[in-house]
Chains A and B, each alone.
Chain A
């Protein structure tokens, strides 16, 4: 888990995204427990209320759930939900941003497609 404290994004959102990343990577598997809010806030040295806000966001989205007296767990369909959500965000976060930066740099649509092709063939 990593947070960027200089980022424009509020820390609780960054925390929620990092937890999602870790679920996608399989660091936190479905139906397993994630660290407690106190552990998370100690690790990042952030206020427990901030950590709680990030975790609760994922509870509201059905990615985490609370087992009373035990702690927070990853929902069984969490990965699928995150994939869906991220795909929707992909267009806004990457495609729109890419095109606006390309316009500033006067990069044409064909040049962008070439670049993507080149990068893809590497892998």
Chain B
């Protein structure tokens, strides 16, 4: 049983506030999507959770123990970072063996098995890996770390469609066998929308929302049709945003969708569809 408690977390770089009094509890074994625009503070948050950098204010606890210079708490987390930290001339197979010395729970045989699946050449040197294969190596190490909490920061960087597909399957497989807290920070929202059970959106260093994907997407609906009809319909509604293509307009509305028999919807030939995570994300985080 692992829990992460983040309280009043602030991180300043000079005058720039990367995180601003952010509080967040992550207590359930779920796959979480950590979403935010560039510079929102996602990586800063992950770096703080793993004691790579230190908070200006606030605290992070794992199972009620601070992560600040606390090996016992940090050991429970495996963090797949964007940047690689391996010696350039080291061969892949040695990186796997070396990592399993640092992480005693790591299962090297699992890593070798995954390497074969992903077609990763074990005799290659780290510096010889392409961007895609660098990501693959880090994915493999994370998935075989057996840590209680897994953090992925942009795991899909440089991966082709086949490898991304494999990553999703291996991630679900791993989670299915050993449910745990998995946090996925990525910009590929559309692709992960069906995989993540809960969404955490941050903006300008603050928490915008933390909700199950299902609740979030059912908190509103999309209504579309001729622009003037849509405008008439949304007059008294809570609108999060709109998109217009020529005379056609989409509006993203909060609340329960009207029934299909609703006079206005029927007469104006408006279409009601569900919200989509990526569109909702864009509306919630622009401006």
Binary per-residue interface labels of chain B (44-87) against chain A in the complex, 1 for a CB within 8 Å, 0 otherwise: 00000000000000000000000000000000000000000000
Evaluate contact between B196 and A42: CB separation under 8 angstroms: no
Query: A42 vs B178: C-alpha distance in the bound complex, in angstroms?
Result: 14
The count of residues in chain B whose C-beta lies closer than 8 Å to any C-beta of chain A is 20
Q: Please give the distance in Å from B261's CB to the nearest CB on chain A.
A: 10
Interchain CB contact under 8 A, A48 and B194: no
Partner of B173, one of A8, A38, A44, A49: A38
Complex contact B172–A11 (CB within 8 A): no
The 8 Å CB contact of A11, one of B168, B179, B194, is B194
Residues of chain A within 8 A (CB-CB) of B30 are 49
The answer, yes or no, to whether B31 is at the interface (CB within 8 Å) is yes
Query: A41-64, CB under 8 A of B: which get 1 and which 0?
Result: 110111111100000000000000
Q: Are B177 and A5 in contact (CB under 8 A)?
A: no
**B273 at the binding interface (Cβ < 8 Å):** yes
Main secondary structure of the interface of A (DSSP, over half): helix
Select A50's contact among B168, B175, B176, B194, beta carbons within 8 Å: B194
The interface centre, meaning the residue of B165, B194, B213 with most chain A CB atoms within 10 A of its CB, is B194
Q: Given A47-B194, A47-B197, are A41 and B176 also a contact pair (CB < 8 Å)?
A: yes
A-B contact count (CB 8 A): 43
Which residues in window 89-114 of A have CB below 8 A to B? none
Query: Do A45 and B173 touch across chains, with their CB atoms under 8 A apart?
Result: no
Interface bin, chain A: 10 to 19
B196-A47 in contact (CB<8A):
yes
In the complex with contacts A8-B273, A47-B31, A49-B30, A42-B194 CB distance below 8 A:
no
Cα separation A48 to B29 with both chains bound (whole Å): 12
Contact A45 B176 (CB under 8 A): no
Set B172, B177, B272, B273: member contacting A45, Cβ < 8 A: B172
**Contact across chains for B197 and A42 when beta carbons are under 8 A apart:** no
Known contacts: A8-B274, A49-B30. The answer to whether A42 contacts B195 by CB under 8 A is no
Expressed in whole angstroms, the minimum distance between the Cβ of B9 and any Cβ of chain A is 27
Known: A46-B195, A47-B31, A47-B196. A41 touches B274 (CB 8 A): no
Residues of chain A within 8 A (CB-CB) of B179 are 48
Give the Cβ gap from A48 to chain B, nearest Cβ, in Å. Answer: 5
Does B274 lie within 8 Å of A45, measured CB to CB? no
| A42 vs B169: C-alpha distance when bound (angstroms) | 5
With A and B bound together, what is the CA distance between A44 and B213 in angstroms? 17
A37 to B172, CA, bound (A): 10
For chain B residues 93-137, which have a beta carbon within 8 Å of chain A? none
The residues of A that contact B272 with a CB separation of less than 8 Å are 8
Q: Report A-chain residues with C-beta under 8 Å of the C-beta of B214.
A: 10, 50
Select from chain B the residue with minimum beta-carbon distance to A37.
Answer: B176
User: In the complex, which residues of chain A have a beta carbon less than 8 angstroms from the beta carbon of B273?
Assistant: 8
Distance, CA A122 to CA B173, complexed state (A)? 47
Query: Bound state CA distance, A72 and B134, in angstroms?
Result: 39
A-B CB proximity, top 4 nearest: A38-B176, A46-B194, A45-B168, A42-B169
A–B pairs, 25, beta carbons within 8 Å:
A5-B194, A8-B272, A36-B176, A37-B176, A38-B172, A38-B173, A38-B176, A41-B172, A41-B176, A42-B172, A42-B173, A44-B194, A45-B168, A45-B194, A46-B194, A47-B194, A47-B195, A47-B196, A47-B197, A47-B213, A48-B175, A48-B176, A50-B194, A50-B197, A50-B214
